[in-house]
Amino acid sequence: MFDFSLMLEKFMEYRTQIAEAVGETFLMVGISVLAAILLGLPLGTMLFLTAKGQLRENVTWSVILNGFVNVVRSFPFLLLVVFMIPVTRFLVGTAIGTVAASVPLGIVSIAIYARQVEQSLFEVPRGVVEAAQSMGASKLGIVCKFLFVEARSGLVLGLTTSTISFISYSTVMGVVGGGGVGDFAIRYGYQRFETELMAAVIILMIILVQLVQFAGSMISRWLDKR
Amino acid sequence: MISLQEVSKSYKSGEGIFEAVQSVSLTVREGTIHGIIGPSGAGKSTLLRMMNVLELPDQGKVMVGGKDLTTLPEKELRLARRSIGMIFQQFHLLNNRTVSGNVSVPLELAGIGKKQRKERVQECLKFVGLPDKARQYPAMLSGGQKQRVAIARALAHRPSLLLCDEPTSSLDPGTTAEILDVLRHINKTLGVTIVIVTHEMDVVKEVCHAVSVVEQGRLTDGFELEVRPGKSDITQRPSYREQLLGKAGMRDV
């Protein structure tokens, strides 16, 4: 019989370690979200623009960008982390630790969100782009003043879905000393047979994901005036 | 003056080639409302879209304001397009921006200051009879109101030419008359040259000074028309009942 009071007790006993783990998760996911916005958004936009029949149709670039996104996404994530160790070492000086763990996580984040962005942009009616062109809008103007405006609720929902994936991916970062709640749950809860502690962390994760989804859906709905 | 000179356009369709427009020459007199009418798939929309080079002809010239738009570099073409407004059957408004936000977009693209933008937006919305809808979103408007917003947006740069691609084809007859009145008003008071593509005979009959007939990618006929005066005050429309009594020839019982 599962003991809830024992779970709470364990939770309180390990609260400083848990807080630390949560902080590490936030750092890794935060860096990933930032990478997704700063690099995934432009990459997704380029995926859209270079596609057939779009504003900057370009077969070469389309193949290259799609290739990158597909290759990154087809890696089993754990293998990508290991595979990228030399790159990580080159970028941040070390392959171990939370910041180092954020490098492969960031790369995956960019690829995941870029696809979401591309899909959202494809949903904007073609006529909107045409109206923009008829006003003499430049390509940058069309992207910023028309495409992003009309696709914004989809862009936010995509980022929400992506963020939840990032949280999930971040849980395996223990392999390169990245820490985080997932790593904590495995080391303390699973490997030391403290099942109650593991359950507490899982509940914590569920609450976190619920909150992210709730916030994302709220913002998206608020932005959607269609 | 707007003139298309020997323009042609063809598309690859599967195995064969579809000739959408075949060597059409067409002149629109300045200050007139010019209709382009024809059955579906005749190439009339393609012809209209050539007038601001949304559709680049394979051959021929597009002369607007003394310049051949087909030869302009992209930057100059974008500038030229500012003096050519365009409206569409499906309005193509930004649904995530308010009415005034929509009218403001072309001005923002041109880098016009906030204060001047605000004035111009107010002026345009007033012109189309929607000054009180400025803060609403397009989703809250009727079809006719949406088209008016699109017209206000097209007027923001004070164009000398307004291209209308089936502007009333998704509107009911009463609303159609309303939009046609707005167009006539624009032509009369602002001196804007208007080109209307439509498949509705009534639209041509109601507002056009001249009409070109397009069939299977070719210009097959052209007429001059006598224009009905129309209402000068566009905010005063007859009620739906009055329209039924007048237009459909129904009798009061």
Q: Is residue B88 part of a domain?
A: no
Q: Which two tokens stand for residue A178?
A: 């990245």
pLDDT in tens, A36-56: 999 999 999 999 999 999 999
Q: Give the mean pLDDT of chain A.
A: 94
Q: Is any Cβ of chain B less than 8 angstroms from the Cβ of A96?
A: no
The reported pLDDT for the residue numbered A1 is: 58
Q: By the 8 A CB rule, do B28 and B19 touch?
A: no
Pick from B110, B140, B158: which residue ends a domain? Answer: B158
Task: Give the residue numbers spanning the domain of A61.
Answer: 4-223
In a shared domain, residues B175 and B234: yes
For chain A, the domain total comes to 1
- The complex scores an ipTM of 0.87
In a shared domain, residues B47 and B167: yes
The reported pLDDT for the residue numbered A212 is: 97
Q: Which two tokens stand for residue A137?
A: 């809008």
CA–CA separation, A86 vs A207, rounded Å? 35
In a shared domain, residues B73 and B103: no
Bridge-based pairing state of the strands B2-13 and B16-28: antiparallel
Q: Is A90 exposed, middle or buried (0-12, 13-18, 19+ CB in 10 A)?
A: exposed
Q: What is the DSSP letter of A13?
A: H
pLDDT in tens, B3-44: 999 999 998 888 888 999 999 999 999 999 999 999 988 999
Residue B232 binned pLDDT confidence (cut-offs 50, 70, 90): very low
Residue A8 pLDDT more than 80? yes
For chain B, the domain total comes to 2
**Residue B73, domain CATH:** 3.40.50.300
- Please give the average per-residue pLDDT across B207-212, as a whole number: 94
pLDDT in tens, A55-83: 999 999 999 999 999 999 999 999 999 99
Residue A4 binned pLDDT confidence (cut-offs 50, 70, 90): confident
Q: Report the chain A residue with the minimal C-alpha distance to residue B94.
A: A150
In a shared domain, residues B78 and B166: yes
Residue B233 binned pLDDT confidence (cut-offs 50, 70, 90): very low
In a shared domain, residues B139 and B181: no
Residue B241 binned pLDDT confidence (cut-offs 50, 70, 90): low
In a shared domain, residues B225 and B171: yes
The reported pLDDT for the residue numbered A175 is: 87
Residue B157 pLDDT more than 90? yes
In a shared domain, residues B105 and B207: no
Q: Is residue B121 part of a domain?
A: yes
User: In the sheet where B218-224 sits, what is the strand order?
Assistant: B84-87, B161-165, B193-198, B33-37, B210-215, B218-224
In a shared domain, residues B98 and B222: no
pLDDT in tens, A184-209: 999 998 898 888 999 999 999 999 99
Nearest to A147 by CA among B104, B97, B86, B134: B97
In a shared domain, residues B149 and B167: no
Q: Is any Cβ of chain A less than 8 angstroms from the Cβ of B96?
A: yes
CB–CB contact A225 B95 (8 Å): yes
CB–CB contact B94 A150 (8 Å): yes
The reported pLDDT for the residue numbered B234 is: 47
Q: Report the chain A residue with the minimal C-alpha distance to residue B77.
A: A136
The reported pLDDT for the residue numbered B169 is: 94
CB–CB contact A150 B81 (8 Å): no
Pick from B119, B139, B158: which residue ends a domain? Answer: B158
pLDDT in tens, B147-156: 999 999 999 9
Residue B131 pLDDT more than 90? yes
The reported pLDDT for the residue numbered B249 is: 60
Task: Give the residue numbers spanning the domain of B143.
Answer: 93-158
Q: Which pTM value belongs to this model?
A: 0.89
CB–CB contact B82 A135 (8 Å): yes
Q: Is any Cβ of chain B less than 8 angstroms from the Cβ of A76?
A: no
Q: Is any Cβ of chain A less than 8 angstroms from the Cβ of B95?
A: yes
In a shared domain, residues B197 and B236: yes
The reported pLDDT for the residue numbered B13 is: 81
In a shared domain, residues B30 and B7: yes
CA–CA separation, B29 vs B27, rounded Å? 6
In a shared domain, residues B112 and B42: no
Across the interface, which of A125, A135, A152 has its CB nearest the CB of B105? A135
% of chain B exceeding 90 in pLDDT: 79
